[in-house]
Amino acid sequence: MTHQQRTFAAEASRLPSKREHGVGKCVMSRRNFLLSSGAATAVVMVAASSGSAQQIPGVVATYPRKLIGKLSALKTDEPVGFEYPDEGAFARSVLIKLGREAGGGIGPQKDVVAFNNTCTHQGGELAGTYKADTKSLGACPLHLSTYDLTRHGILISGQAYQSLPQVLLELEGDDIYAVGVFGLIYGRFDNLQG
């Protein structure tokens, strides 16, 4: 292990975990989230372009677990609406069994995902825009942004420049829980309002 790797490992080991804090925030890079299949683990990314170690943290806000559905009740390509992390503005979200493995997906096929339903561009309502053939949400009725639900809500096309916030899920038996949100919900300075 190089000196840089030892320094990185030491920094990562000091970061708080979601389990340690329960409710709150932990630091996490988007890259490692994309690699971790939805687990909200504290990590730091090292940028190598300058030749020196550099921390580039992202922020995952985590919340008390909320039961949002039953795995056995989901049907492929039939979205189910719910509100998370609260019932305030722009909290509307959608739970979908894609029938295809997806980033952050849960269940035996890793195909059950959830996303906030508000377009990150200017707040267009995305409910009812799910496309089963492309596993996407959109096009947004305002300016046509479309998001790939198999790849953490990354933008496929349109005016937005941020991915759709993904609701982090946990499975316990047949129960599906929402446990956090990756990304900032449109219209909020902080996902945890009030």
| Residue ranges that bind ligand FES, judged by CB under 6 A | 119, 121-124, 140, 142-145, 158-160
For 129-164, letters b (16+ CB in 10 Å) and e give: bbeeeebbbbbbeeeebbbbbbbbbebbebebebbb
> Closest distance between ligand FES and the C-beta of residue 124, in Å?
3
Nearer to ligand FES, 117 or 191 (CB): 117
CB 43 within 8 A of CB 18: no
Task: For residue 100, give every residue at least 6 positions away whose Cβ sits within 8 Å of its Cβ, in sequence order, or none.
Answer: 109, 111, 135, 150
143 is known as an active-site residue: yes
Alpha-carbon torsion 60, 61, 65, 71, what sign?
negative
> Closest distance between ligand FES and the C-beta of residue 121, in Å?
3
> Closest distance between ligand FES and the C-beta of residue 78, in Å?
23
Nearer to ligand FES, 68 or 155 (CB): 155
Nearer to ligand FES, 129 or 150 (CB): 129
Active-site amino acid positions: 121, 143
